[in-house]
Each structure stands twice: as structure tokens, then as C-alpha cells.
Chains A and B, each alone.
Chain A
């Protein structure tokens, strides 16, 4: 399952890259961070998605405390 999230306060290209690298380190997660759009794309197995997303949120909060993730539809 793939979901898009808004990360409005993602401050710069370097932060975006840092976030992307950190999120991809989480097992079973494929993450893409689009700085110019302020969006984060997370792909993870359906059955574990909710659990994984909690971890994603936790990691994101450590790396970029400003970039709160908000779900957007497709």
C-alpha cells in the first residue's frame, strides 16, 4: 500500500534527503520525500501499515520535528 503525506514545514532539500534516508532504514518501508511539493510517499506492506506508520512518524519527529505528517488522499 502506498500513501502520500503532506509535510508542509519541510525546510530544505538537505533536510528532505536526510529524512528520506532515515525513513528508508525502517524495515519494509520504501519512502520518497519530495521537497518541492512538501510531500512524503510511504510504501509498506498492507497488513503492517498502521504499525509501520507509527514508526515512520516517530523517526520523522526525531529527524525533522517541524515536518508533521498529514495524510492526503491518493
Chain B
């Protein structure tokens, strides 16, 4: 920065002396001094790279363009050197270096700013943790805490390691890890994940995992490694940059030689210098900065933006697949539904049926029994049940107030000669009989997540077909599909059947996302174009097989991922196409317009780069 200011302070008097007095011995040293202050780093780098055989780098281009301008001035306008304004090309040469350095400075700032933004999105780990050793708290780096050690988290601080609370209680902001915006109350015995923020009162946590294997570190690792898998666009850019610069250099050489040779036949020596000057403009334009800086930032900004929204992408190459997919296949249990049984409706006198059934079911731990007990609440203590019996696969029985109560499937009741009204619901029905009479039916189902239907509807708006792949029965699968608006339902599937169906869709030309909880769906996750593991970085198998990990327990995140991927791809294309079009336009102008000013070429070049970086940063915000 200082060298730029110094160069400009030298540059201004040089121009004045040049324009007003035309004294070569006065303005030339000033130009030269200004040039050297602005450009000595460029010269040094270019020299180093040439020694290493890396000729076509931007430093070299700038060096040639500016030195070329000086040479041009001495060779072709020598006669005019002593008249006012005689150092015009020299001035251009210095200006190239100054503007290039100004541009580099702003580019550097822009890149650093975007890095800072990306990092702040990923700042889910604390830098320091307070470990309890020999009864004293000690501030240490989190990676020095071993599993089994205790550490204290004060209100407002992030939890560093996964563990379990051993004393105290607090509210936890789990949004960074689970996407849940509502704070969760946690007390002794509750497990805590790193990345959660503690509120209200301090807690002491026993570390269960080392820092590097804790949730926050694993999330970060995924995101950082995502940068390694480059998107196709990015690979194209790197390859393109390798050939682009030499080609433009060759082109500029042609411009310098071919037209003047023809014109020389017309005996017009002056045009020679004009064409060389135009060739120098081309050299300046041939710098691929705008592309090689902005495109990687676009993709990484996109990865960072999604990470902030609890969506972890395993590679920048995923954006393209997500953006172009047209089918989303959902697993049912744990993905569309919450995976926990709940009483969804009760036929008959609801209070009476629930309290009678609850008093019996509370003695059992089967998921169905638990769901009834939970729904009954306090009513489950209304009666005292004796002689409680379990009929595995059928239901339970007990005696209340001297009369028999039965709760179970149809068989349990009909075996005992009780007439029942058969339920028409596709879900699990628990028939309740009291005193040999069927008094009501409790319908139990796996609760559908609140936003499942909304997410499916939104996907449909985007012309994406939603299908369901489930191992469950036809009736249940179809009922859940109908409620969520899912278009096609494949039921009674084994895990390998899911893979076969995904392959079938792919062979029909569809691009397919598979979203599953990842526990037994690893083959399907790996087969789909994009495998999306729902529900956190817990299982290694799921992360291994998936391309995308969603920390939040909601299907709407898929809609977010889809929308954002489209945005990232379009920003990348804008940057690629925009930069190329502007560069092409500049090139045409530099060739066609006689004495096209060098400094416009460089401002155009640097300007495109800055605009592209700013555009790239749009991918940080997710809507």
C-alpha cells in the first residue's frame, strides 16, 4: 500500500513535467522511479517464475506490457521525446503498473473479506475451553482435553467437546448443530454436542469424545474437505486459464507483427508503433484473474452458506447434481415421519378408553404401549390394574375393578368371543375391550413431520417429482404418501430393492436425490446421484455414503439446498460468462481501435475481477 502511494506521488510530478516542459532528463527519472516503486515486486516475481519455467503468469504479462510501452516510447517516438507530452507511452507503462498494483490490493482485500465471511459462518467451535483439573479450572486449547475429563461451560460459551452434563443445568442453543431454533433445557445426564451454546447458568460436562472427533470438528472437517472436490466449472476454469494466457499472448504477438508487415508495404512506419501498442493491450487483458479467483470463491461461499443453514455438502461438485435433479426419493420412517409412534386418533369415549388402556399399558415398554401411556398422561393413574398379562404379538390384559380389560389387535379380542368393529385405518389399531365389550379403538401411527407436506409441495412447484421408498406395508405407505402429496409410492422394499428402483429411475434419464436417515440406507445413498443423510454427523457409514448431510430434522432443508444450488451454479456461470464476454469485448476493442489506451484495458481487467468477487459473495447468503 505504501509503495502504491509513493509511486503515485512520484507519478504526478512526472506527468506534469512531461506535459508542460517536455524535459526528458527531468521526467524520465521520475517515471522510472515511480515504475520501480510500484512494480519491483512484480518484476521480482516474474523473474523468479521465468527461472522456474513458469513463463505465462500475470506478473510476466504486466512486466512485458509496461516495459514494452517504455521501449515503444524510445524507439518510435524518439524525436518527440523532448517536446511536451513526449513521454506518453512511458506514462501508460507506469500507469499499468500502478493500476495493476491498486487492483491487486483491492483483490487481496476482497478475497480476505470473503474468507473472513466464510470462516465466520463456520465458527462453531470455541478456541479455548476450561478444563477441571485438581479442583481448579484451567484455560486450555480444546484439543488438550481428553475424553473422561471434566470441563466447565459458562453462559454464552460454546461447548467444545461432545459429552454429558455431570452437574448443573442450562438452556442450550442447539441451532448450529440441529437447526432447532428453540433453546433446549438440559440438566444432569443430558448429552451435549459440541457447537451448542450454553445459556443462563454454567454446567460441568464430562467429555466423551476427543475434540477432533466431536460433532463441531467433524462438521468443519466435512466442509473444509468439500473444497477439495472441485466442481466441473472450477476444473474447467483451471484448465482454461492454462491455455488462455498463452493463446492471448500469441494473439498479441500476431497483432504486433502481421498487420504492420502488410502496412509496411505501404511505407507507413507510424502504424507499426500503434499495432505494437495494441498488442500490449492484449497482454494486459489476457490475465485470467477474474475467473481463477471468483469461481472457487463462488463455490466455497455456497458451501459455507449451506453449512450455516445446517446443510453440509461433501463437495462443490454436488451443486450441479442438486441443481439439475428432477426426482427426490424419500425414505419414510425417520425422514418423512419422525420415527416415533404416537396416538393419532381414538374411536369411542376418548378419555375413558385412554385411561383404561393407559393404566394397563404403563406396565410395558413396547413402543406402542409407551405411546398410549404418554397420550393418557395423568389418566394412566386413574385406575389400579391387577393381574397384568402380556400376550406377545397380540396385546395385553389386566383386571380393573374386578372386570377384565383387553388391549391389543383384533385377534386378541375375537379369540375371546368379543365382537369388534374393525377399524378402516391403515395404521396400527389397538382394540380396547372392557367387561367383554369393545369400547373403543386407539389408532397409532408414526407421526409425519410438520413440514413434510409443505416441502413436497414446494418441490412440486420446482417441477420435482417426489417418490417414497419404504420397507413398510402398502396401506401405511400409501396413507402417508397421500397425506404429504407424494406422487409415487414404492412399498415393502428391502434395502437392496431401494437401490434397484433408484437405478431404474436413473436409466430412464432422471437425476435423483435420495434422502434417508442413513442407518440402513447406505447402499441407496451411494447409488443416488445425490445421497442425502438426514439427522447429523453421528453415523460414519451414512457420512461415508452420502454427498450431503442435513443436520436439521426437516425436509424443507432439501428445498433450501435445491434453491441454493441453483443460485450457486447461476452465479458461477455469471462470473464465467460475464468475465469472458467483457474480456472478449476488450480484446476486440484493443485490436480494432487504434491506440486503445492501455490503462482502460487494465481497469477493465481489474474491474471485472472485483465485480466477479463481489458477485461470488452472494452465495454466502441463503434464502
Contact = CB atoms under 8 A, between A and B. Distances in A.
A36 B52 contact: no
Give the size range of A's interface with the partner.
20 to 34
Counting chain B residues whose Cβ lies within 8 A of the other chain, the interface size class is 35 or more
B234 A13 contact: yes
A37 B295 contact: no
A38 B299 CA distance: 14
B300 interface: yes
Contact of A36 (B45, B143, B227): B227
B119 A37 contact: yes
A73 interface: yes
B36 interface: no
Contacts of B111: 11, 38
A11 B114 CA distance: 13
Given A36-B118, A37-B119, A17 B48 contact: no
Interface string B103-125: 01001100110110011000000
Contacts of B141: 73
Contacts of B52: 62
A36 B54 contact: no
B108 A9 contact: yes
B212 interface: yes
B199 interface: no
Contacts of A37: 115, 118-119, 224, 227, 300
B399 interface: no
Interface string A1-35: 00000001101111011100000000000001011
B405 interface: no
A62 B271 CA distance: 41
Interface in A29-55: 32, 34-39
B297 interface: yes
B293 A13 contact: yes
Interface in B120-166: 127, 141, 143
B265 to A, nearest CB: 42
A12 B54 contact: no
B238 A32 contact: no
A34 B224 contact: yes
A36 B300 contact: yes
Interface in B72-119: 104, 107-108, 111-112, 114-115, 118-119
Nearest to A4: B224
Contacts of B292: 12-14
B395 interface: no
A73 B217 CA distance: 12
Contacts of B108: 9, 11
Contact of A74 (B54, B217, B300): B217
Interface string B240-255: 0100000000000000
Contacts of B33: none
B112 to A, nearest CB: 7
B300 A12 contact: no
A9 B115 CA distance: 11
Contacts of A18: 54
Interface in B325-346: none
A73 B141 CA distance: 8
Q: Which residue of B48, B227, B238, B299 has the most chain A CB atoms within 10 A of its CB atom?
A: B227
B288 interface: yes
List the 3 closest A-B pairs by CB distance, nearest first. A36-B300, A13-B296, A13-B292
Interface of B: 44-45, 48, 52, 54, 104, 107-108, 111-112, 114-115, 118-119, 127, 141, 143, 211-212, 217, 224, 227-228, 234, 237-238, 241, 288-289, 292-293, 295-297, 299-301
Given A8-B115, A36-B227, A37-B119, 9 more contacts: A12-B293, A13-B292, A14-B238, A14-B292, A18-B54, A35-B227, A37-B227, A62-B48, A74-B217
